[in-house]
Amino acid sequence: MQFNRREFMKGAGAGVAGLALSQLGLDLEPVKAYAGSLKIDGAKDIVTVCPFCSVSCNIIASVKDGRLVSTEGDPDYPINQGALCAKGASMLSMTRSNHRVAHPLYRAPGSAQWEEKSWEWMFERISRRVKETRDKDFIPKNAKGQTVNRLESMFFIGTSHADNEECAAIVQMSRGLGLVHIDHQART
Amino acid sequence: MTNHWIDIKNADAVLIMGSNAAEHHPISFKWVLKAKDNGATVIHVDPKFSRTSARSDIHVPLRSGTDIAFLGGMIKYILDNGKYFREYVAEYTNAAHIVNRDFDFKDGLFSGFDAKGRRYDTKSWTFEMDGAGIPKRDKTLKDPRCVFQLMKKHYSRYTLENVSAVTGVSRENLLKVYEAYGATGVPDKAGTMMYALGWTQHTVGVQNIRAAAIIQLLLGNIGIPGGGINALRGEPNVQGSTDHALLYHILPGYHGVPLADWPTLADYNKANTPVTKDPASANWWQNRPKYVTSLLKGWYGEKAAKENDFCYGLLPKAEKGVDYSYMFLFDRMYQGKIRGGFIFGLNPMNSLANTVKSRASMDRLDWVVVSDLHHTETTDHWRRPDIIPADNKTEYFFLPSAHRIEKEGTVSNSGRWLIWHHKAIEPAGEARTFGYMVVGMMKALREKYRKEGGALPEALLFQDWPETFVAEDWTKRINGFFLADTTFGGKAYKKGQLVPTFGALAADGSTSSLNWLYTNSFTEEDGNKSKRRDPKQTPMQEKIGLYPNWAWAWPVNRRIIYNRASVDPAGKSWNPQKALISWQDGKWVGDVPDGPWPPMASSGGKNPFIMQPQGFGQIFGPGRLDGPFPEHYEPVETPLTAHPFSRQLSSPVYKSVSSDLDPLAKPGDPAYPIVLTTYSLTEHWCGGGETRNVPALLEAEPGLYVEMSHELAKEKGIKNGDEVIVENVRGKVKAVAMVTVRIRPFTVQGKTVHLVGMPFCFGWSTPKSRGAANRLTPSVADPNTTIFELKACQVNLRKSDKTGGTA
Amino acid sequence: MSKVVFVDTSRCTACRGCQVACKEWHELPANDTRQTGSHQNPPDLNPYNYKVVRFSEHLDGDTVRWYFFPDQCRHCEEPPCKMEADEHVKGAVVRDGKTGAVIFTPKSKKLSAAAFEKVRKFCPYNVPRRNPDTGAMVKCSMCNERVVRGMPPACVKVCPTGTMNFGERTDMLALAKKRLQELKAKHPKARLVDPDSVNVIYLLIDEPARYYEYAAVPEGGPLGRQQFLAWLFSPLKKSVDTVARG
């Protein structure tokens, strides 16, 4: 969803009129010199949701040429009304963090380093390990002879970071594999 | 939350307990302060004085782990002083129900206790039925066997003396809170309770919340604006991830996991579908078979048919009584019984209890797939400081995940609002969404099963999976489809069209839905309602801050659940100034009511608590494993050896695991006399794996500290800023001393008890931030939820002598 | 007339949204901080933090008080930093007469180290800092580039609790006086800090010194150039250094 600048400015505090540069009176010099252009000028505004606590504050991401230039609270959203806390306010530097992992990584048993791999390689190798484990340890019947079709030696834990759609896919996969060891942050 | 974030502003009293809302849900304070501006009393009951306390009218420090004593005292105060809302209690709760004659409570134990098995047989925790099979009631509340009288007897021991002696709260402070909060037990006042992990992370976690629920029912505070039991919830989409059941014990939509004892869908439905003989009870869960069949149709599509039991047989069946949660998973891992698995967006090597053990356990995996934004204590476990990588034989796959701002989809906030977030930018580098990973892995795996066969390939191959992950397609799958041409509500729907509401879901295989709670969120008529941004309100809705056209809330856009309890039996609001629903001219106006039926007193009316089989609020709660009334028990590790409520020191049924890495300090152990409580803080999130990688946040909170009183610091010769070692039977951690007036010594049973607090968000993967506080916490848990007791254990501390091994 | 930031500390929860939002808007790098036994981090204003939330705690009898003070430039009506800087490099400090924002300009790079020290010491609130990399003086600019477009400063926009408020001077003064009136009953020591001489007006519920050494000009009251100089060099002051910490 996109917003125009006028809507964005609705976040202005009481009594602030939407002044244009030309309306400014005397002492224009410093304004011209030190309030020239804004980094969000010409940016596209996109609504996202803060990724931390479950108040789920809405955030407007300003994007220019595919690059995030600024984030601020969404003034229209009735819960946070433009406000954010320290975590919510840090979205820009969060996405620019140089600690982000940008490639699939593989670490062989006993190795002292990560190696970059392609997604295809990862899916191929992971599915091989999953299949080996599942085929070996699958329990069709329990000690009482009841059909149980479960796999106890494999687990899936996580995550409340996933969207609802992703959660639905994760649980479908987990139960399809026969997993019973399933858990995530809801239990902490 | 029964209510929602904005609704906090409608409260006349706000009790924040088991939560540090201003620090962990900072935006909630926008609404807490609005309530305060309107005259509400804001009360914070918590071991330490925090940023929440600073903005509250009253802060009461209590010793961690004594909430039930504190709340039990409030129940007694409300009963003794007639502060309860009599009509609400008699009409809408089970206070009037007559309890089974065999039910009893003696010296800390309820009837049916099996000491050897450490469990209860709950068959006496039931109600007496009349000839028609309807619970017997005495609405005068005088029958000595009615819930009300049994409750009165139970809490008669919770005197100010006893409560004060155990909690460390002065009598004056107890009364101050009881009076302020008890004042909301009148029709035109509302009190809200805000809680979080401070209540859940105890061996009596569920009973902490039960005690709160009893108070809220006594005061008539459930179902009304400004009231409710409000779990603030910790994580970004934890409401949604719980609804969608990333949990061992349930399937999406709160259906119990299938057990080995239920081989067919009919067996499952019989065991899980409650019945009532009371025509006034809606007994909503009678609809469960419709929701479960629709879920199976969602998972197995065309392959699920009546003839094959809708593929129910392919689902894994758990063993009755076996717990598959974290605590037992890591214990089995430690025993070498677990080969591999997936850890997505989670940092258990830092955030779970007893990380000394969980770390040793993870070393024993053959392979693990981890997915995260950054390197964390979990993703890089194989190269943690105290091991040599060559010794770690686990194969690691690290799938870099996309940030929320880099993908689209829905999340559910604590107030159950379903909110769409748009993709703003492309993921960093080759990072991808969790959905991309799951679909990619399943595609590769299914291909192998198709070609090679293997163990029960149908369980995977019969499932309905798309070629690629498109979020909004799954939003639709969650809502559900008609699978045959159907007429519903006088309207014709074609096969493949979206189901308009869960009332249309069927048990015959003609509908699908991956979660019935979310049916109605995406419809043919209104599209994807999570994208709605319309602030339109009626004047009635505006008065209480209800936004029915902004986003969507489960169930069926109901903003406050159990809202039928906000009106009297004739359908008139208890508080017309803040009416939530109202019966006008033969229909309900305001919020979406809890069911379409007319008011309770009219013909065809229903009891308000529609999710309970009999429709009443549960003051007597027979569904828990540790008793129908909350009872004070000490934490498993406690500075005490006895307490005045009974001879049962700790919960008789708490869960635990045992191994060489699970030692526990004995009660009152003089070697570990100090109570430790753990928590997080505004600037970091949970295990900290994410926020420690955000420079501005790490700048504000760069490393581990231990907060302690001036008195304790003086006793130990510690100055503010000193490095100290905090240790106990399980491990030790180095931290910087934060000596503060915000933690005060407690006087418990006439003796001084010190308490210290540490955040659990720091870990070795962030240089200089020091180690994990969870090296100290024990693997003991609540019997109902298996949530760890992270909020209270015993430690000692000393000035650092440069001893290592505290990562 | 000037714009005013009204800081109602009685509502502050120290969530530090303002501290971080300021860094994010101005894209300031993080300092390498350490935990030293305090939540106040970074410990002080610095070239990369134009805004710092200060924490101070007190025990009065049995009552715990924890005060939060989101510190920043006060944007004085007659800024002493400008008076002093003008003596050295004209235009190093300018004041936007329309908004009241006091701005350090790139010309401040030309200030000698000694001149910068003088400018810094003339600030009664201990605000000016110098970026070691560029040599420019830095501090809060009231987000003037936002303000002239009708947007509130980043720290005001982000605030959840109504601590940070922004608007026309008359409106903000009215709001400040209303809040003061409401708080006086419960907090008799409540006050507005130097409301006539600054455009960032703090409402405190206790003595300024209980928040932070430089929360207020000790004598309070409006400070024109003459009064300021008189105050600065009054015999009661031991030296300039005690006024603005070295």
Tell me how far apart the alpha carbons of residues B416 and B1 are, in angstroms, rounded to a whole number: 7
CATH code of domain A42-97: 3.30.200.210
pLDDT class of B290 with cuts at 50, 70, 90 = very high
Test A138 with B456 for CB contact under 8 angstroms. Answer: yes
Residues B738-757 have a mean pLDDT of 98
- Classify B213 as helix, strand or coil: helix
Test B197 with A104 for CB contact under 8 angstroms. Answer: no
Q: Rounded to a whole number, what is the distance in Å from the CA of B198 to chain C's nearest CA?
A: 19
Residue B625 corresponds to which tokens in the numbers above?
A: 């494993």
Test A30 with C171 for CB contact under 8 angstroms. Answer: no
Exposure string of B314-342, with b = 16+ CB inside 10 Å and e = fewer, is bbbbbbeeebbbbbbbbbbbbeeebbbbb
Residue of B766, B763, B760 lying closest to B695 (CA atoms)? B766
Tell me how far apart the alpha carbons of residues B192 and B14 are, in angstroms, rounded to a whole number: 5
The class that CATH gives domain C80-141 is alpha beta
User: Between residues 56 and 85 of chain A, which touch chain B (CB distance below 8 Å)?
Assistant: 56-59, 61, 63, 66-68, 71, 76-81, 83-85
ipTM score here? 0.97
pLDDT class of B244 with cuts at 50, 70, 90 = very high
Chains in touch with B (3+ beta-carbon pairs under 8 Å) read A, C
Residue of B6, B51, B626 lying closest to C53 (CA atoms)? B51
CATH code of domain C3-72+148-221+232-245: 3.30.70.20
Tell me how far apart the alpha carbons of residues C5 and B582 are, in angstroms, rounded to a whole number: 44
Q: Rounded to a whole number, what is the distance in Å from the CA of A133 to chain B's nearest CA?
A: 7
Alpha carbon of B400 to those of A68, A88, A103, A126, A127: distances in Å? 20, 22, 6, 14, 17
Question: Is B396 in the A-facing interface, judged by CB distances under 8 Å?
Answer: yes
**Please, are residues A155 and B218 in contact by the beta-carbon 8 Å criterion?**
no
Q: Rounded to a whole number, what is the distance in Å from the CA of C57 to chain B's nearest CA?
A: 7
Tell me how far apart the alpha carbons of residues B558 and B560 are, in angstroms, rounded to a whole number: 6
Test B29 with C13 for CB contact under 8 angstroms. Answer: yes
Q: Calculate the average pLDDT of chain B.
A: 97
Q: Rounded to a whole number, what is the distance in Å from the CA of B762 to chain C's nearest CA?
A: 12
Examine the pLDDT at A102 and tell me if it is beyond 60.
yes
- Backbone conformation region of residue B496, classed left if phi is above 0, alpha if psi is from -120 to 50, else beta: left
Question: Is C245 in the A-facing interface, judged by CB distances under 8 Å?
Answer: no
User: C-chain residues within 8 Å CB-CB of B696?
Assistant: 20, 23-24, 30
pLDDT class of B802 with cuts at 50, 70, 90 = low
**Please, are residues C199 and C100 in contact by the beta-carbon 8 Å criterion?**
yes
**Please, are residues A139 and A151 in contact by the beta-carbon 8 Å criterion?**
yes
Per-residue pLDDT tens over the stretch C225-235: 555 555 555 54
Examine the pLDDT at B713 and tell me if it is beyond 90.
yes
Which pLDDT score is estimated for C227?
56
Per-residue pLDDT tens over the stretch B630-640: 999 999 999 99
User: C-chain residues within 8 Å CB-CB of A13?
Assistant: 152, 156-157, 165-167
Test B329 with A99 for CB contact under 8 angstroms. Answer: no
Per-residue pLDDT tens over the stretch B171-205: 999 999 999 999 999 999 999 999 999 999 999 99
**Please, are residues B616 and B607 in contact by the beta-carbon 8 Å criterion?**
yes
H-helix segments, B38-120: 51-54, 67-80, 86-92
CA geometry: angle at B167 spanning B164 and B170, to 5°?
40
**Equal CATH topology for C3-72+148-221+232-245 and C80-141:** yes
Which pLDDT score is estimated for B240?
97
Task: Please state the domain extents for chain C.
Answer: 3-72+148-221+232-245, 80-141
Which pLDDT score is estimated for A34?
54
Examine the pLDDT at A9 and tell me if it is beyond 50.
no
Chain B: residue nearest C65 by CA?
B54
Q: How many CB pairs (< 8 A) connect A and B?
A: 476
Q: Calculate the average pLDDT of chain C.
A: 91
Residue of B143, C39, B441, B419 lying closest to A120 (CA atoms)? B441
Q: Rounded to a whole number, what is the distance in Å from the CA of B723 to chain C's nearest CA?
A: 9
Per-residue pLDDT tens over the stretch C86-132: 999 999 999 999 999 999 999 999 999 999 999 999 999 999 999 99
Candidates C8, C12, C52, C64, partner chain B, best to mutate (most B CBs within 10 A):
C64
Examine the pLDDT at A32 and tell me if it is beyond 60.
no
Tell me how far apart the alpha carbons of residues C7 and B802 are, in angstroms, rounded to a whole number: 44
Per-residue pLDDT tens over the stretch B673-710: 999 999 999 999 989 999 999 999 999 999 999 999 99
User: Between residues 40 and 69 of chain A, which touch chain C (CB distance below 8 Å)?
Assistant: none
Chain A: residue nearest B446 by CA?
A127
Per-residue pLDDT tens over the stretch B761-774: 999 999 999 989 99
- Classify B175 as helix, strand or coil: helix
Specify the DSSP class assigned to residue B695: H
Examine the pLDDT at B94 and tell me if it is beyond 70.
yes
Per-residue pLDDT tens over the stretch B329-351: 999 999 999 999 999 999 999 99
pLDDT class of A33 with cuts at 50, 70, 90 = very low
Tell me how far apart the alpha carbons of residues B766 and B692 are, in angstroms, rounded to a whole number: 7
Residue of B479, B476, B551, B488 lying closest to B519 (CA atoms)? B479
User: B-chain residues within 8 Å CB-CB of C11?
Assistant: 33, 55
User: A-chain residues within 8 Å CB-CB of C140?
Assistant: none
Chain centroid, CA A110 distance in Å: 32
Which pLDDT score is estimated for A23?
34
Which pLDDT score is estimated for C219?
59
Alpha carbon of B514 to those of B248, B257, B520: distances in Å? 17, 15, 12
Element (H, E) at B32: helix B28-37
Percent of chain A with pLDDT over 70: 81
User: Between residues 333 and 362 of chain B, which touch chain A (CB distance below 8 Å)?
Assistant: 337-346, 348, 351-352
Test A14 with C167 for CB contact under 8 angstroms. Answer: yes
Alpha carbon of B588 to those of B88, B187, B517, B591, C6: distances in Å? 20, 20, 22, 8, 45
Residue B144 corresponds to which tokens in the numbers above?
A: 């000595």
Tell me how far apart the alpha carbons of residues B617 and B185 are, in angstroms, rounded to a whole number: 16
Q: Rounded to a whole number, what is the distance in Å from the CA of B794 to chain C's nearest CA?
A: 22
User: Between residues 170 and 229 of chain C, which touch chain A (CB distance below 8 Å)?
Assistant: 171-172, 175
**Please, are residues B196 and B18 in contact by the beta-carbon 8 Å criterion?**
yes
Ordered DSSP codes for chain A = -EE-HHHHGGG--TT-----GGG--S-HHHHHHHS---TTTTPEEEEEE-SSSTT--EEEEEEETTEEEEEEE-TTSTTTTT---TTGGGHHHHHT-TTB--S-EEE-TT-SS-EE--HHHHHHHHHHHHHHHHHHH-EEE-TTS-EEEEEEEEEEE--TTS-HHHHHHHHHHHHHHTEEEEE-GGG-
Task: Provide the sign of the torsion angle of the four alpha carbons B303, B304, B307, B308, taken in this order.
Answer: positive
Pairing of strands B229-231, B191-195: parallel
User: C-chain residues within 8 Å CB-CB of A24?
Assistant: 98, 148
Chains in touch with A (3+ beta-carbon pairs under 8 Å) read B, C
Question: Who among C15, C103, C154 is closest to A30 (CB)?
Answer: C103
Question: CATH 3.30.200.210 region(s) of chain A?
Answer: 42-97
**Please, are residues B782 and B203 in contact by the beta-carbon 8 Å criterion?**
yes
